[in-house]
Amino acid sequence: MTNSVDEVLKSDVLFVTGSNTTENHPVIGSKMKQAVTNGAKLIVADPREIELAHYADVFLQIKPGTSLALSNGLMHVILEEGLQDDGFIEERTENFEALRELVKDYTPEKVAEICEVDANDIIKAARIYGEGERSAIYYCMGITQHSTGTESVMSIANLAMLTGNIGREGTGVNPLRGQNNVQGACDMGGLPNVYPGYQPVVHPEIKKKFENAWGVELSDENGLTLPEMMDNALRKSLKMIYVMGENPMVSDPDTAHIRKALESLDFLVVQDIFMTETAELADVVLPATAYAEKDGTFVNTERRVQRIRKAIDAPGEAKNDWEIFMNLMNRLGYEKTYQSASEIMDEIAVVTPQYAGIDYSRLEGDGLQWPCPTKTHEGTKILHGERFARGLGLFKPAQYRPSAEVADEEYPMIMTTGRVLYQYHTRTMTGKTEGLNNLAPESYIEISPEAAVRKNIENGDLIKVSSRRGSITVKAKVTDKISGNTVFIPFHWAEGAANVLTSGSVLDEYSKIPELKVSAVNIEKAM
Amino acid sequence: MVTLSINGQRVEVEQDTTVLEAAATIGIKIPTFCHDPRLKPHGSCRICVVEVNGGKNLPTACVTPVYEGMEVETEGEEVVTARKEILDLLLADHPLECLTCEKAGECTLQDLCYQYGIERTSYDGERNHYEIDYSNDFYYSDQNKCIKCGKCVMVCDQLQETHAIGFAERGFETHIATPMERGLSESTCVSCGNCVSVCPVDALAPKKKTKFRYWETEKVRTTCSYCGVGCQMDLLVKDNKVVEVQPAEGVNDRMLCVKGKFAFDFLSHPNRLKMPLIRKDGRLQEASWEEAYDTIIGKINSIKEENGPGAFAGLTSARCSTEDNYMMQKFMRAAIGTNSVDHCARL
Amino acid sequence: MKSLEELRKLRKDSLDQVDMRRSGKGTRIVVGMATCGISAGARPVMMALVEEVKKRTLQDVTVTQTGCIGACRLEPMFEVYRAGEEKVTYVHMDGEKAKRVVAEHIVNGKVVQEYTIGAYEK
Amino acid sequence: MELYRSHILVCGGTGCVSSDSLKIEERFIDLIEKNDLKNEAKVVKTGCFGLCEAGPIVIVYPEGAFYSQLKVEDVDTIVSEHLVKGRIVTDLLYKESIQEGEMQSINDVGFYKKQERVALRNCGVINPEVIEEYIAYDGYEALGRVLTDMTPEEVIQIVKDSGLRGRGGGGFPTGLKWDFTAKAEGDQKYVACNADEGDPGAFMDRSVLEGDPHVIIESMAIAAYAVGANKGYVYIRAEYPIAVNRLQIAIDQAKDMGLLGENIFDTDFSFDMEIRLGAGAFVCGEETALINSIEGKRGMPRPRPPFPAVKGIFNKPTLLNNVETYANVPQIILRGAEWFSSIGTEKSKGTKVFALGGKINNTGLLEIPMGTTLREAIYDVGGGIPNGKAFKAVQTGGPSGGCIPAAHIDTPIDYDNLIELGSMMGSGGMIVMDEDNCMVDIARFFLDFTVEESCGKCTPCRDGTKRMLEMLDKIAAGTGTVEDLTKLQTLAKTIKNASLCGLGQTAPNPVLSTLHYFMDEYEAHVHEKRCPAGVCKALLNYMVIDEKCKKCGICAAKCPVNCISGTKGKTVYHIDTEQCIKCNACLEACPFDAIKKG
């Protein structure tokens, strides 16, 4: 997030797109509802009529995969009506003319056709966002898990810059991070192209810096992304994967493909707290500690580094993940030892500019929001306040392209995936709580009433859902939350797993994110 | 700034400060039931009444703003009489089951009765009798114990914005209920438990899976391990087991969701991995750490020799700590020599 | 409503309709409206009086009816009561005569002697 | 425009409507038609005349003949006699309007003579459904003058100078309230009218709305201009269907005529209003609870401050006055602050409407100058106590008020005197009690009302009044103790001191005032297990007075539980008090007054 969570209540316009906030980030979702009650305006864009839609001034029930067109359309109206912030564009940005040129074509009528919404609603939404004194955008995987995911984000950033809604309190471009420490994992270089602090591995000076810090020689090549790993495993060029706390067998697209890939490996190590679907394929499984059993930090969606603390002892001989890696490194001849997580944070601070001012003594209380470059720095609530990281904000106009898979005769429905309030990710944790399983016991498919009538489907019927990757059988939930030919399946359950159907081969060109939100499927009553 | 005196102590505070807040700045505690700074002023329980400039009526500290020259007495005779009377009245319709009550030790009513020496009620009148609503999976609603402070309703309305519960009936029959008294499981309740977290008595309380007394527990502040909001919370620990979770001050403003509040069972689940496992004869079998390390190191060395570092990849985790992630990528990069580190940030 | 003038005009028009309900302290004209009176033509006299009083927007004048005054042969007749004055009884009235009484007696304070019961009895 | 020689005013107030005044109206119209009087006589349905005791009421002008307690068939007589023949039907006249054999005009009847009608001036005089009639009686003249000729500050100054105080309860100076609202910051402001009359027996607000709805519209528009509001709400209980209906008609007429809406009197001032219906909870008469209810929330009071003048409806500055308060304003504007302040006492100006009830001859509504003594109100206007019984106390202010004993009957009625006596003005309920009323029972009656109507929000009122009632029940049942008497007083004090809203703070008044003035009665209940007035059933014993008993056996025959024994003509009868259910049947049956209770 460019801004902070408490600013939800300081915005006068919220534009929530591709995020079912009240179910996936419930505490932020509640703040959004509070903001509306206090008088803020709300625009919601989502293929499903989610709870927030009922609070919205404008609800745009867009066809999955069309949000890029929508933001371009919003910018078209804003420019048409002169609602842009000329001063901000002039002083803080570049490449505006290219954007103006590109969005010219995105008339409300055209966008309405692409997104399958009312053109007047697009105009209304554009006016609300454009006229807001402090308009903030909140988005989530509904924007990113597309073949045009990165461009969709760019387009949203363009919208914010066009209206000067960035760098000030109550504004911003705010992705809601789905997992407790996805921010920290990224910050720590859990990515094939960067070291901790997003420092490129191909940059010679950076490599030098890390070689000095770590006392070893390092590779100057970008590593493999997760989908590439799977492909290489199948091609036998990748021999060993070490998995820490992940369950790609359920969470990743095209389960059959993942299984084949993992089975092709020479050696698979899985380190986790439970025997997951992935661990079952492993050669070695290592027992790790859960969050309540260790000291450490999680970094939340607003870049706040916060402490976790050891409350109980780990079961059996389970060990902290970092300790396991330290032991393995030591055995591989890398001698450095650490006594505590706090010592590791001290090392992180040395090599990571954004974390330079962070140590555990400063994290008591509310934690710190990075960038925190010095020991006296208070942390950063709002990014891009005075200037953008690169100096001027660059408008990157992005053209809408349809999703890779579109409905056809064989697979006439568009499936999108997501989460529910009562389960979490692959249910490794939530699946162990009886009450949650009572409330959300099994997978299901949401089908619009019109599609249900056409297919003669009733609530509770068992439905066979097929895609080009495979098929699953799940219960039907006929609901007007969803319309037309769109269907929705939550991805939590291994039984009736949505990711059996999704495609792992359609990736976003830049981030390599799979197009999980749009798959062409067919539905029929299971016999 | 406004200067006033509280119990003879001078205090200077900002305009629009309440008496309660002003008193807190000089360490004077005024008891409350219905007050919560996150909520709109409610002023229903009246336990925080104070005496102002010797006036006849007793205003409540929680909603009364300070003014220049104000003189407040927080424990004067009139005030104490009123507080005792209020406690007496509350007890007159509250079962005295403190010995077995789950809330004992963390019950505001119990604490204040202790403070003001109210052993039992002096009234022998009618009492309300309600069926306990056990229909929710995580908590129950026992209206027999409710003191009608209304915090649960306000939290549900003003903060959580779920509007699942409200006041039903009026006068002496007033109680908290779901629409049409259809029960919690039939309401719009999303089991966030934020009402439970603010209840001062045992009227809304978690269904305990382990028997414990609050004074037996230790509270450990931590960050929720579910979504990316990073809610702050306290783990209540008894005998090396997390027995309850309570929301804490932080980005979440003392709110949690159903998962953060109630889904901690996995920690002590019998299926937790406790020993390293090594696949032998096609089956994963328990082994010692030394064996496991040796197996892994042996495999790393042989693959590296044959295929070089490019044959390795690691998946770090959005679930693990920052430090764990740092160590894993360092392990992959520094000890194995590959940048093939990724994780499911995109999922 | 665009102006006070407009309102006042409306009030003036409306007042005529309801003025009767004010408590009359001034002049009272009481018309005999028993069977004898009515059969002798008291009703047109009554209406003439009412109309004339309104037309002249006379304040504090009420026209009321009463039963038999007791001199049926003199009907239609009415009596005029004014504070500080003797009662004046007019007899054998008709609409025109009534109007004259209003003009001369009620407005100008001059009793129309020729119509009074005194003149008749002479 | 048609002229009529006769106007027949038929009371269309709730009281008279419920005793068939609408059928009476119909019959008049019918018969006038038949007798060919259509062009001479006009039937006008008005608001309440106030003397509800005498209803259904018809007044025939120009004579001002005051017909009371009419039945439909009486209409035939009135038409044939009065309208056709000009003979007033003396038999049907209100009896007090006949003095020394002469009929008095309604204005000279005792009930009306001591009254001074300001708030009620048009009630019973105009047809509330005809805006022209309101205008004929100077309606909207005040609004016109205010809008075209006065600044908001000047308007507020007049209201301040008049000394008008809120007629709904606490008696807060109205001008000051207007001033606060005018000075409060806010882009949007509201004016609201509290027509949620909840005191048992009070119906002055209903009467104004039914009889003169335009005065509320005019007054609220004036207030809106003064405080800077453009929107008004009238909060009426749904149990007042006639009032709601008439007010809606009036609003529609005012809109049609441009007296509501945009640019009224061609000025910049625009004002619109709407009716909000309440479900009739007593607590919604409390201003913050009323505001919650208008917003669609549960009718529970909010803490004050912030006051509605700062944060009211939808948290915007809101002026809230009650119906009677508003009803005074146009007259103050037209006749001046000096005129208004010349009526009344030093600190209580103008008139006050009271709903007189209980043990009194003239039950009904009366509007009297402040400073009129209780005695004048009860005897001169109210016609005294029926059946020659002795006056014991008068309860003012409804459930929030207290009982004033006979010793204080010469107290001039004003806000401060009533409070001094442990009661209050309230909305103007005035219930007269005679020697047959038990003061413990009276206290119970009012407290029972409060317990039923407590919103349940704050502890002292919700639980405290309940416990007080339980103690009163004990005392009335003869099981009360001395401790209960002490406890009643200490608990009452906490409820007064610590309750959230005015209703809770005043709820103990009926108990406290009776404890204060009639402690002997309470003590009789507690110590002697005796109810001096013979009301509390549990404490009653029925006895046969041997000397008077004629051994007729009628009492034994009437007794439903056969607890009276004796032999007809031979022995004196005897009541078994253990078995007796105190139904009073024997006492009523005895032709010789030989049974007493006590």
Q: How far apart are the C-alpha atoms of B132 and B102, rounded to whole Å?
A: 14
Give all domains of chain D, ordered by start, each with its CATH number: 6-106 (3.40.30.10), 131-339 (3.40.50.11540), 351-434 (3.10.20.600), 439-527 (1.20.1440.230), 540-597 (3.30.70.20)
CB-CB under 8 Å, D281 with B85: no
CA distances (Å), origin D84, targets A102, A160, B59, D218: 91, 86, 68, 39
Classify residue A395 by its DSSP letter. Answer: P
Dihedral pair phi/psi, residue D134, rounded to 5° = -65, -45
CB-CB under 8 Å, D61 with C23: no
Query: Which of D214, B222, D108, B279 has the alpha carbon at shortest distance from A181?
Result: B222
> Within this chain, do residues B222 and B178 fall inside the same structural domain, yes or no?
no
Instruction: Assess if residue A396 is contained within a domain.
Output: no
How high is the pLDDT of residue B345? 59
How high is the pLDDT of residue A226? 87
Tens digits of per-residue pLDDT, C74-91?
788 888 887 667 778 888
> Within this chain, do residues A171 and A186 fall inside the same structural domain, yes or no?
no
Name residue B142's amino acid: D
Structural domain ending residue among the three candidates B233, B257, B272: B272
Polymer length in residues for chain C? 122
CB-CB under 8 Å, A180 with B159: no
C44 Cβ under 8 Å from any chain D Cβ: no
Which residues of A fall within a CB distance of 8 Å from B329? 188-190, 195-196
Nearest to A287 among B222, B276, B334 (CB): B276
Classify residue D390 by its DSSP letter. Answer: P
Instruction: Assess if residue B198 is contained within a domain.
Output: yes
> Within this chain, do residues A36 and A167 fall inside the same structural domain, yes or no?
yes
Nearest to C47 among D40, D87, D136 (CB): D40
> Within this chain, do residues A435 and A479 fall inside the same structural domain, yes or no?
yes
Give all domains of chain C, ordered by start, each with its CATH number: 23-121 (3.40.30.10)
CA B16 distance to own-chain centroid: 28
Which residues of D fall within a CB distance of 8 Å from B174? 455-457, 462
Name residue D562's amino acid: N
- Give the residue-averaged pLDDT of D73-90: 84
pLDDT bin (cut points 50, 70, 90) of residue D203 is confident
Of the listed ranges B196-200, D141-145, D294-298, D456-460, the least confidently predicted one is D294-298
> Within this chain, do residues A165 and A188 fall inside the same structural domain, yes or no?
no
CB-CB under 8 Å, D491 with B85: yes
How high is the pLDDT of residue B108? 97
Tens digits of per-residue pLDDT, C58-72?
777 878 776 666 566
pLDDT at A42 over 90: yes
Nearest to D141 among C7, C65, C66 (CB): C7
Average predicted confidence (pLDDT) for chain D: 90
Q: How far apart are the C-alpha atoms of B202 and C113, rounded to whole Å?
A: 99
> Within this chain, do residues A336 and A189 fall inside the same structural domain, yes or no?
yes
Structural domain ending residue among the three candidates B163, B181, B207: B207
Looking at the DSSP bridge assignments, the partners of residue A388 are A391
Q: How far apart are the C-alpha atoms of A360 and A362, rounded to whole Å?
A: 5
pLDDT bin (cut points 50, 70, 90) of residue D1 is very low
Classify residue C102 by its DSSP letter. Answer: I
CB-CB under 8 Å, D126 with C18: yes
- Give the residue-averaged pLDDT of D348-374: 91
Tens digits of per-residue pLDDT, A243-277?
999 888 877 778 888 899 999 999 999 999 999 99
| Domain of residue B33, CATH code | 3.10.20.740
Classify residue D267 by its DSSP letter. Answer: S
Nearest residue of A to residue B298, measured between CA atoms:
A332
Nearest residue of B to residue A285, measured between CA atoms:
B277
The domain of A63 spans 5-176
How high is the pLDDT of residue A149? 83
Helices then strands, each counted (H, E), chain D: 24, 19
Instruction: Assess if residue B117 is contained within a domain.
Output: no
pLDDT at D590 over 80: yes
pTM: 0.87
Residue with tokens 């009643």: D488
> Within this chain, do residues B267 and B240 fall inside the same structural domain, yes or no?
yes
Polymer length in residues for chain B? 347
> Within this chain, do residues A419 and A519 fall inside the same structural domain, yes or no?
yes
- Give the residue-averaged pLDDT of A326-354: 94
Instruction: Assess if residue A63 is contained within a domain.
Output: yes
CB-CB under 8 Å, A240 with B311: yes
| Domain of residue A480, CATH code | 2.40.40.20
CA D151 distance to own-chain centroid: 35
Instruction: Assess if residue B233 is contained within a domain.
Output: yes
> Within this chain, do residues A166 and A293 fall inside the same structural domain, yes or no?
no
How high is the pLDDT of residue A498? 83
Q: How far apart are the C-alpha atoms of A17 and A60, rounded to whole Å?
A: 9
Q: How far apart are the C-alpha atoms of A189 and A208, rounded to whole Å?
A: 16
Question: Is A240 within 8 Å of B311 (Cβ atoms)?
Answer: yes
Nearest to B230 among A238, A300, A332 (CB): A300
> Within this chain, do residues A35 and A118 fall inside the same structural domain, yes or no?
yes
Q: Which of residues 300-319 of B touch A (CB under 8 A)?
A: 300, 303, 307, 309-319
Average predicted confidence (pLDDT) for chain A: 92
Chain D: nearest CA to B202, how far in angstroms?
Answer: 18
Instruction: Assess if residue B283 is contained within a domain.
Output: yes
Name residue A3's amino acid: N
Nearest residue of D to residue B146, measured between CA atoms:
D459
- Return the residue in C7, C39, C51 with the most chain D beta carbons within 10 A, the one to mutate for interface testing: C7
Of the listed ranges A485-494, D94-103, D365-374, the least confidently predicted one is D94-103
Nearest to D454 among B44, B78, B171 (CB): B171
Query: Which of C53, C101, C110, C54 has the alpha carbon at shortest distance from C79?
Result: C101
The ipTM is 0.85
> Within this chain, do residues A354 and A322 fall inside the same structural domain, yes or no?
yes
How high is the pLDDT of residue C25? 60
Question: Is D195 within 8 Å of D236 (Cβ atoms)?
Answer: yes
> Within this chain, do residues A234 and A257 fall inside the same structural domain, yes or no?
yes
Between A281 and C73, name the one with better pLDDT: A281
Q: How far apart are the C-alpha atoms of A135 and A251, rounded to whole Å?
A: 33
Nearest to C65 among D9, D86, D258 (CB): D86
Give the A:B interface size as CB pairs under 8 Å: 451
CB-CB under 8 Å, B171 with D303: no
How high is the pLDDT of residue B160? 95
CB-CB under 8 Å, A218 with B335: no
- Give the residue-averaged pLDDT of D526-554: 90
Classify residue A84 by its DSSP letter. Answer: S
Q: How far apart are the C-alpha atoms of D557 and D543, rounded to whole Å?
A: 16
D261 Cβ under 8 Å from any chain C Cβ: no
How high is the pLDDT of residue B178? 92
Helix D482-498, helix D465-477: angle, nearest 10: 160
Instruction: Assess if residue A50 is contained within a domain.
Output: yes
> Within this chain, do residues A171 and A219 fall inside the same structural domain, yes or no?
no
Chain C: nearest CA to D38, how far in angstroms?
Answer: 13
- Give the residue-averaged pLDDT of D73-87: 84
pLDDT under 50 in chain B at which residues?
none
What is the number of structural domains in chain B? 4
| Domain of residue A51, CATH code | 3.40.228.10
> Within this chain, do residues A261 and A322 fall inside the same structural domain, yes or no?
yes
B191 Cβ under 8 Å from any chain A Cβ: yes
Structural domain ending residue among the three candidates A338, A369, A400: A369
CB-CB under 8 Å, D298 with B166: yes
Chain D: nearest CA to C22, how far in angstroms?
Answer: 8
- Give the residue-averaged pLDDT of C10-20: 75
How high is the pLDDT of residue D458? 95
Share of chain A above pLDDT 90, in %: 73
What is the number of structural domains in chain A? 3
Interchain contact B/C (3 or more Cβ pairs less than 8 Å): no
Which residues of D fall within a CB distance of 8 Å from B64? 305
- Return the residue in B138, B319, B329 with the most chain A beta carbons within 10 A, the one to mutate for interface testing: B319
CB-CB under 8 Å, D62 with C62: yes
> Which pair of structure tokens corresponds to residue B154?
């306000």
Instruction: Assess if residue B132 is contained within a domain.
Output: yes
Nearest residue of B to residue D288, measured between CA atoms:
B42
Instruction: Assess if residue B116 is contained within a domain.
Output: no
Tens digits of per-residue pLDDT, A430-462?
888 898 999 999 999 999 999 999 989 999 999
Share of chain D above pLDDT 90, in %: 57
- Return the residue in A244, A326, A327, A366 with the most chain B beta carbons within 10 A, the one to mutate for interface testing: A244
The domain of B10 spans 2-91
Burial of B260 (0-12, 13-18, 19+ CB in 10 A): buried
Chain B: nearest CA to A499, how far in angstroms?
Answer: 11
Nearest to D494 among B85, B147, B170 (CB): B85
D310 Cβ under 8 Å from any chain B Cβ: no
Tens digits of per-residue pLDDT, D9-52?
888 888 888 888 889 889 998 988 888 888 788 888 888 877 87
CB-CB under 8 Å, B277 with A184: no
Chain B: nearest CA to D280, how far in angstroms?
Answer: 13
B338 Cβ under 8 Å from any chain A Cβ: yes
Q: Which of residues 50-89 of C touch D (CB under 8 A)?
A: 50-51, 54, 62-68
Nearest residue of D to residue C49, measured between CA atoms:
D5
Query: Which of B38, B252, B330 has the alpha carbon at shortest distance from A304?
Result: B252
> Within this chain, do residues B10 and B85 fall inside the same structural domain, yes or no?
yes
Instruction: Assess if residue B14 is contained within a domain.
Output: yes
